[in-house]
């Protein structure tokens, strides 16, 4: 480390100590813990520089500490270095940027695949919800945030990025090459699976999805449909506003969801009887790869006792992030608000629990995304699944049909 770098680190430490001390003396804040933390951070930096076995790269030390700081908050908050943030801005401003089609989070200390988009590069290469990424583009994900992983996985169409997948404990990670693509818009798959039952598979809740479901249900009702199944298994993308709009098609009263954060004004999204188009029975199918907007929809139906929720507990990713640029050219992606269920519980913390549990094993699937034990890396499915058929042979769907046909089921 050169003389000027050392002076810079020492100066930073002095500033931290001075700021903490001055703030405490002047009483500009009542939060003494904040200043105590700053003091400790400055002291640790000094000790690392002075006493570490080798002369440390303080830029890497500082960046690493900031990564850890953000990751300690929640899986979706991320720190981007100045170089990473520059690359991030270039990619999001380029309409031609391609991706691999994965929704990501962090579990077990690694980046984990929550779900994959149908017919995406990830799905074609055999990835699925529950896979753990040991590395992305040659970098271990133990030192990587979700924002960094997403940044590395996007790029020019036709280019390749290599990931390494952990599926079994004690087995070496499996390398997989993904060819980035511009993803085609996802389409709703609908099927009349019984004389009066319509099933709608929603691969995403993108803008306009609520209007599309609105039109399909009204058309189906004219054709004698009296019961509806909404399948949001593996649905990990979409806008919360679409989930709220879709829930209002079914709820005559109650709370759809609530958004709240330290700096975000509390917003409660209520049902609107004027927007209801379906008062007949409805069921929702969920699994461990259901996340985000789809969780808001499922929780609204469940907590307002509007219909059965069948399947497995969802992942838990319904929150809002804010991109905050920093003075040195870096940036943080910070979770600023969480979505809460009608019962007041955070979706991010608890996910959505089905009213009727049908496990992955009973459905003939191996999905361990929602498990909290490291044994969850084990997954026997080695080939990409075809899009799940809307068929009564599907145990989860079969259970939903059974519940819809039960004598006690009446229109809302």
In the prediction, which pLDDT does 32 show?
67
Mean pLDDT of the region 380-401: 67
398 and 252 in a single domain? The answer is: yes
Query: How many angstroms separate the CA atoms of 310 and 127, rounded?
Result: 24
CA torsion sign for 289, 203, 94, 136 is: positive
Confidence band for 11, pLDDT divided at 50, 70 and 90: very low
Residue 20 — φ and ψ, nearest 5°? -65, -45
In the prediction, which pLDDT does 38 show?
73
277-305 pLDDT tens trace:
999 999 999 999 999 999 999 999 999 99
| 314 located within any domain | yes
Confidence band for 361, pLDDT divided at 50, 70 and 90: low
| 44 located within any domain | yes
| 214 located within any domain | yes
DSSP characters over 213-278: HHHHHHHHHHTT--EEEEE-TT---B-HHHHHHHHTTT-SSSEEEEEE-SSS--EEEE--GGG---
The length of the chain in residues reads: 412
| 183 located within any domain | no
Higher pLDDT pick, 143 / 378? 143
- From the list 162, 112, 155, the residue with the least C-alpha distance to 137 is 162
Chain centroid, CA 309 distance in Å:
20
Secondary structure of the chain: what % helix, strand, coil (to 5)?
35, 25, 40
How far is CA 160 from each of CA 105, 128, 129, 166, 385, rounded to the nearest angstrom? 22, 18, 21, 20, 22
Please give the tally of structural domains in the chain: 2
Chain centroid, CA 371 distance in Å:
15
CATH, residue 399:
3.90.226.10
Residues β-bridged to residue 178 = 161
Could you give the count of Cα atoms lying within 13 Å of 99 in the half-sphere of its Cβ?
Answer: 18
| 271 located within any domain | yes
Look at the pTM and tell me if it is higher than 0.85: no
How far is CA 38 from each of CA 44, 169, 319, rounded to the nearest angstrom? 10, 39, 28
| 120 located within any domain | no
The domain containing residue 7 runs over which residues?
3-56
Mean pLDDT of the region 45-69: 83
Could you give the count of Cα atoms lying within 13 Å of 22 in the half-sphere of its Cβ?
Answer: 6
The answer to whether residues 311 and 288 touch, using CB atoms and an 8 Å cutoff, is no
- Asked if the model's pLDDT at residue 145 lies above 50, the reply is yes
Query: How many angstroms separate the CA atoms of 254 and 342, rounded?
Result: 8
Helix segments in 73-208, DSSP class H: 82-93, 121-124, 146-153
Query: How many angstroms separate the CA atoms of 350 and 374, rounded?
Result: 18
In the prediction, which pLDDT does 8 show?
47
In the prediction, which pLDDT does 36 show?
72
Chain centroid, CA 153 distance in Å:
16
Query: How many angstroms separate the CA atoms of 348 and 58, rounded?
Result: 34
Residues β-bridged to residue 321 = 335
Element (H, E) at 179: strand 174-179
| 64 located within any domain | no
Element (H, E) at 310: strand 308-311
Percent above pLDDT 90 for the chain: 66
DSSP characters over 326-385: -TTS-EEEEEEEEEE-TTS-BHHHH----SEE--TTTTT----TT--SGGGG-----SPP
In the prediction, which pLDDT does 412 show?
53
- From the list 358, 208, 373, the residue with the least C-alpha distance to 284 is 358
| 144 located within any domain | no
Higher pLDDT pick, 210 / 171? 210
């Amino acid at each position: 480390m050169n003389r000027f770098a050392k002076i810079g680190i020492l100066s930073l430490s002095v500033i931290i100590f001075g700021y903490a001390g001055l703030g405490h003396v002047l009483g500009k804040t009542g939060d003494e813990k904040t200043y105590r933390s700053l003091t400790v951070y400055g002291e640790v930096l000094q000790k690392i520089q002075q006493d570490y076995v080798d002369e440390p790269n303080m830029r890497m030390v500082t960046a690493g500490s900031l990564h850890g700081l953000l990751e300690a908050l929640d899986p979706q908050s991320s720190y981007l270095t100045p170089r990473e943030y520059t690359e991030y801005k270039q990619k999001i401003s380029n309409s031609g940027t391609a991706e691999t089609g994965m929704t990501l989070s962090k579990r077990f200390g690694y980046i984990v695949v929550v779900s994959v988009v149908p017919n995406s590069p990830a799905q074609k290469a055999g990835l699925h919800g529950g896979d753990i990424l040991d590395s992305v583009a040659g970098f271990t994900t133990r030192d990587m945030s979700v924002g960094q992983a997403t940044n590395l996985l996007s790029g020019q169409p036709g280019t390749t990025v290599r990931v390494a997948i952990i599926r079994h404990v004690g087995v070496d990670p499996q390398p997989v090459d993904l060819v980035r693509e511009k993803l085609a818009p996802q389409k709703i798959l609908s099927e009349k699976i019984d004389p009066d039952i319509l099933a709608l598979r929603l691969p995403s809740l993108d803008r306009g999805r609520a209007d599309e479901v609105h039109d399909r249900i009204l058309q189906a009702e004219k054709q004698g449909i009296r019961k509806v199944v909404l399948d949001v298994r593996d649905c990990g993308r979409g806008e919360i506003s679409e989930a709220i709009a879709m829930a209002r098609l079914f709820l005559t009263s109650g709370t759809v969801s609530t958004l709240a954060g330290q700096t975000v004004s509390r917003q409660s999204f209520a049902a609107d009887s004027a927007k209801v188009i379906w008062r007949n029975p409805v069921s929702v199918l969920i699994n461990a790869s259901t996340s985000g907007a789809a969780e808001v929809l499922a929780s609204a139906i469940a907590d307002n006792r509007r219909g059965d929720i069948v399947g497995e507990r969802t992942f838990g990713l319904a929150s809002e992030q804010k991109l905050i640029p920093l003075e040195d050219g870096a940036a943080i992606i910070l979770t600023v608000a969480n979505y809460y269920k009608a019962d007041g519980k955070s979706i991010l913390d608890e996910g959505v629990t089905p009213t009727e549990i049908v496990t992955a094993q009973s459905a003939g699937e191996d999905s361990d995304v929602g498990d909290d034990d490291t044994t969850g890396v084990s997954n026997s499915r080695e080939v990409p699944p075809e899009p799940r058929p809307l068929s009564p042979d599907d145990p989860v769907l079969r259970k939903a049909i059974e519940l819809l046909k039960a004598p006690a089921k009446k229109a809302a």
